Amino acid sequence: MRLALPLRPEVLSALPLELRLEAERLEGTFRHENPVLGTLDLPFAARLEGERVRPIPLPPPSLEVEGWLRPTGLELEVRLRLPPGRTWGERAFARILEALFAKALEESLPAGARPPL
C-alpha cells in the first residue's frame, strides 16, 4: 500500500501511531484494531539516507516502510510482514489480514491523505 503523509500535526495525530526519530533512524508502532485478532501493535523501523527512507527488517508481525522524505511530507510504501504461510489456508488467512490492515490504515487517514497514490 502506498501512502502520502503530509507532515502536518492534524494528519499525524489522526493515525494510531507512535513515531520516533533518533539520528538517522525512524522507529514507531502502528496500533491496528483487527476484527479477527484484536489489537495488534505493529512495530516498524527505517533508516534515513538523505531523502530516502529505507526499511530495517523486523521479525513478523511487523510493518516494512520505505519511501521518500519530501518537503511536503512523507511518501511511504507500507507492507504488513507476517510469518510465511506453509499451507494454502495459512496463506489465504494472511491475505485476509493484509486486506483488513490496508482498510484500517486507509480509514484512519484524513480524507486528503487517503491512498492509493
pLDDT in tens, 96-105: 988 888 888 7
pTM: 0.80
pLDDT in tens, 41-71: 999 999 999 999 999 999 999 999 998 888 8
Domain that holds residue 7: 2-113
Number of domains in the chain: 1
CA distances to 21, 26, 35, 71, 97 from 14, rounded to whole Å, are: 19, 19, 20, 20, 22
Cell of 61: 508481525
